[in-house]
Structure 1
């Protein structure tokens, strides 16, 4: 009798495992055969973070995928909304504008097929010039200065020109990838680069190795003026970020979130969120700014609805999603 019970138990366990395996297989059958993460230009943090995150997903979940160079947050919102990309990276300012139909890439078109996945990091707005230029403060930037603002329609290009205009700076506007603009600064073709990117910015780190640079902070008055006029928060760039800095540098910042098409299968996004949120050590290996890519920081998204797959993981793990951010 005991022998029979053992057999029955073994059969029950085996049957349960087969059912579970079949369910898992059925779940995966809805997954995309491949995916692409929209990043930004090479030499910027988005490219490093997004490409590394894509590789982590591909390796751990056994799905073909990778990062793609794009124009940055605004373009990523548009490409995810249309379904041309499954995943992307964006900042909260452009996300709010896109949802309201105010994207510079598609005026009047509300991008409502974009859902939030997880918090990435804050994007500080920082300014870099060659030490040889003599520019040590924002007020030192000469009239007509040639300033590189990153890729056209990027977060930096959307907000930084307006921020500098608010502070009374007159300039010639230049666009391009961060690596290219860094080279132009070093060659004397630009006077200043105005970066909005996660730190450390690879292009700045590279410049530090090759030449002497000044990383220019906001004064208290300038910071207060910008906080009043734009959807940004106060920020301190830690002195440990760059060898050039001897003390923390005052700045402003905007939060970044990973995004997905709201129609991307829930089970896939659940596993992507689970992988990302439960492996912060691996994310920090991708880029050290991922130190803040943790569930507690979901509170910094007050704009985009969370993807149902992401929301399910958060709520299963004790993190509340406000009703107005649920689909």
Structure 2
């Protein structure tokens, strides 16, 4: 299966003296790649900022050239990592489960099972943003035929948010695009609503509220109950103060994200990648505030993907028991 890369981000981290660094750290680098790429998502979204950040942290720490690549998001990342077009990627549990079952829209009938989990990232809340001038303050007030941006085609937001809103009785025109582009369209009056599924704070929303007044719309109690019953999501609270425009806690739903790796990568390489991310929480928090959930204890939220042996080794060395049936 041939998949076209969308683009590679500029400024890959410069390689350090690999041999000297490896000797100093006592690492076995047999079979390591000369460079690596992390599949992220569109610019303006959390995946891009978070993924490019941890890629650069790993590159700097291990002395190997690496960086993030713009992609269509979790669904495409599963396919790219499966085929080895990128070494690493990031995905949410819903698209991951569909891909493993052969239900990916990018490869119908083909189980994308050459992918392994390596560390927990954060929860992706599903949240809605409108301009305050629209007068829309709740999901029930979204008018029939509203033009709603759902993010890149095939992304977690595009896969699940339309279904959620249809379940809640919302009639809409579906639009796709990168988060920055959709934010510009909302500001220009070309969209009525953006339905985001991304780690918070979402860069595109933070940028929007600097330029104009926005409403962060949450789920009413009965809407929340309906969506929790119908979809593989969990209750989530967007804390007041997450955005300048949010002066109260907002109720949302969320889905867990995990970093993934091609199953054929060397165990020693993946071990060092996991070690770098899991043991540098302060640096991860500098990359993105969503990293507050990037802690080893959250490994338990993966009930879908098998773990890469390099990740299994790091977690079990640090007192976390990976279930036997999920060891890859």
Q: Same fold (TM over 0.5)?
A: yes
Tell me the secondary structure at the aligned position of residue 152 of structure 1: coil
**In structure 2, how many angstroms separate the alpha carbons of the residues matched to 1:66 and 1:42?**
14
CA distance in 2, matches of 1:22, 1:69: 33
Whole-angstrom CA distance in 2 between matches of 1:160 and 1:124: 11
What pairs up with 1:11-160 in 2 under 5 angstroms? Answer: 21=23, 24=26, 27-160=28-161
Matching residue of 2:223: 222
Q: Which has the larger radius of gyration?
A: 1
**SS of the residue 1:239 aligns to:** coil
CA–CA separation in structure 1 for the residues paired with 2:176 and 2:197 = 13
Q: Which ranges of structure 2 fall in alignment gaps of 5 or more residues?
A: 1-21
Q: CA deviation at 1:29?
A: 2.9
Structure 2 residue aligned with 1:272:
273
For 1:319 and 1:42, the matched residues in 2 are separated by: 34
Offset, 1:240: 1.8
* Alpha-carbon distance between aligned partners in 2 of 1:174 and 1:148, rounded to the nearest angstrom: 5
Matches within 5 A, 1:204-223: 204-223=205-224
- SS, match of residue 255 in structure 2: strand
2:232 matches 1:231: yes
Higher helix share: 1
Structure 1 position 24, deviation (Å): 4.1
1:272 is paired with a residue whose SS is: helix
1:22 Cα deviation (Å)?
Answer: 10
1:224-257 Cα deviation digits (max 9, x unpaired): 0000000000000011210111110000000000
Partner residue, 1:281: 282
Structure 1: which 5+ residue stretches go unaligned? 1-19
Partner of 2:201: 200
Relative to structure 1, the CA distance from residue 243 to residue 22 in structure 2 (aligned partners, 3 Å threshold; closer, same or farther) is: closer
Q: In 1, Cα distance between the equivalents of 2:207 and 2:26?
A: 45
Q: Measure the CA separation in 2 of the matches of 1:312 and 1:239.
A: 39
Q: In the alignment, which residue of structure 2 is the partner of 1:294?
A: 295
CA RMSD in angstroms, aligned pairs only: 1.2
TM superposition shift of 1:21 = 4.8
State the shift of 1:151 in Å: 0.1
Moved over 3 A (4+): 20-25
SS in 1 for 2:51: helix
Q: Cα offset for 1:260?
A: 0.2
CA offsets 1:2-36 (integer angstroms, 9 cap, x no match) = xxxxxxxxxxxxxxxxxx959946x2131110000
CA deviations over 1:254-275 (Å, ceiling 9, x no partner): 0000000011111000000011
Partner of 2:248, secondary structure, is coil
Matched, 1:315 2:316: yes
